[in-house]
């Protein structure tokens, strides 16, 4: 791959698994005996806001107990040393890519450490717990919701993502099961000349759409992949 090539990387929960963060379908996506898909929705938030606040408070608190792993660090190294464009699109709402040093990073499903005002829609850092008494600091009064894209809601910055997919020379999906759309469909949206590679513990639901699909753990596959691109 020549050094000025444009790369788009998509990551999912599998890249954070070895840091100790649970994947969605590992524990068959259960949390307090609720299916994640039932908690991570606008309806659930409307129905039982305290349950949804609690779900995200617990996951936000767990971020302080985990560290980026070798796969996160390898992707940050690639961004800093690669000569061409590199966009890292993550489905993850954890902060591990940012803490590893990735900067050209797009959280398409939002971020645990941010909150959004239901009135003025302002988004701001929200490192602590959030509940029904939490108030917006921008308009001084609106109730807050997690800045998370729930099922049935539009992912963030999709125009920018599809432009990058259309122009890229290499698309790599790492640690994602290919269950959730539109992310699972990104491999079909790349331009005609692009190469596609999947790095995952087991073949994803969309593995057959990739030119190459390697199986293994992210902390093994990703540093090897980056060394091959950059040279040791
Ligand atoms: C939208 C934030 C429309 C929440 C998330 C029926 C058919 C097709 C689609 C749909 C359908 N019904 C509904 C839909 C649409 C829906 C969808 O795709 N549902 C699925 C479940 C069928 N999608 C949506 O609703 C999206 N929005 O479509 O909007 C629209 C259009 C116009 C206008 C308005 C609206 C929004 C989706 C976003 C939902 N929010 N996250 C939260 O985090 O609480 S998605 C959630 O799942 C996470 O972000 C997670 O990242 C994502 C995907 O899961 P993965 O990351 O892939 O994680 P998973 O556990 O599944 O897989 C982990 C993989 O890693 C596994 O393969 C495993 O083998 C591997 N692995 C494990 N360990 C390792 C490893 N790999 C390497 N190394 C390891 N050590
Ligand atoms: Zn506000």
State pLDDT tens for residues 19-48.
999 888 766 676 777 788 889 999 999 999
Catalytic residue among 72, 107, 109, 147: 109
Q: Which of 156, 11, 12 is nearest to 88 (CA)?
A: 11
User: 226: which strand partners?
Assistant: none
User: What pLDDT was estimated at residue 26?
Assistant: 66
User: What pLDDT was estimated at residue 20?
Assistant: 93
> 135 with 104: CB under 8 angstroms?
no
Neighbour tally for 199: CB within 10 Å: 27
Contacts of 211 (CB under 8 A, 6+ apart): 195, 196, 197
User: What pLDDT was estimated at residue 232?
Assistant: 64
What's the burial of 181, exposed, middle or buried (CB within 10 Å: 0-12/13-18/19+)?
exposed
pLDDT tens per residue, range 81-113: 998 999 999 999 999 999 999 999 999 999 999
- In whole angstroms, give the CA distance from residue 100 to residue 68: 6
- Pairing status of strand 105-107 against strand 34-35: unpaired
Name the average pLDDT for the chain.
95
Integer angstrom CA distances of residue 44 from 47, 51, 93, 227: 5, 8, 18, 44
Distance 182 CA to ligand 1 centre (A): 8
Active site residue 34: no
- In whole angstroms, give the CA distance from residue 50 to residue 170: 43
Please state whether the predicted TM-score (pTM) of the whole model is above 0.85.
yes
Tokens (6 digits) for 15: 């890249």
User: 114: which strand partners?
Assistant: 125
Ligand 1 binding pocket includes 186 (Cβ within 6 Å): no
User: What pLDDT was estimated at residue 22?
Assistant: 85
Distance 229 CA to ligand 2 centre (A): 45
**Residue located nearest, by CA, to atom 9 of ligand 1:** 181
- In whole angstroms, give the CA distance from residue 22 to residue 84: 33
Distance 102 CA to ligand 2 centre (A): 29
């Amino acid at each position: 791959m020549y050094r000025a090539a444009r790369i788009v990387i998509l990551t999912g929960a599998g890249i954070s698994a070895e840091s100790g963060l649970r994947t969605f379908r590992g524990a068959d996506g259960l949390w307090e005996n609720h299916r994640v898909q039932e908690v991570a929705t606008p309806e659930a938030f409307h129905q039982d806001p305290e349950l949804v606040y609690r779900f995200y408070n617990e996951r936000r608190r767990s971020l302080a107990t985990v560290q980026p792993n070798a796969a996160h660090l390898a992707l940050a190294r690639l961004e800093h040393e690669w000569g061409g464009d590199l966009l890292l699109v993550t489905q993850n709402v954890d902060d591990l890519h940012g803490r590893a040093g990735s900067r050209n990073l797009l959280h398409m499903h939002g971020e645990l450490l941010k909150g959004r005002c239901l009135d003025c829609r302002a988004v701001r850092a929200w490192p602590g717990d959030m509940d029904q008494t939490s108030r917006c600091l921008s308009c001084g009064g609106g109730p807050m919701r997690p800045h998370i894209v729930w099922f049935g809601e539009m992912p963030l910055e999709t125009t920018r993502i599809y432009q990058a997919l259309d122009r890229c020379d290499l698309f790599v999906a790492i640690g994602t099961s290919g269950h959730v759309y539109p992310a699972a469909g990104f491999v079909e949206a790349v331009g005609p000349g692009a190469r596609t590679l999947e790095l995952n513990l087991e073949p994803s639901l969309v593995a057959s759409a990739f030119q190459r699909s390697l199986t293994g753990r992210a902390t093994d596959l990703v540093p090897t992949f980056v060394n091959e691109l950059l040279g040791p």
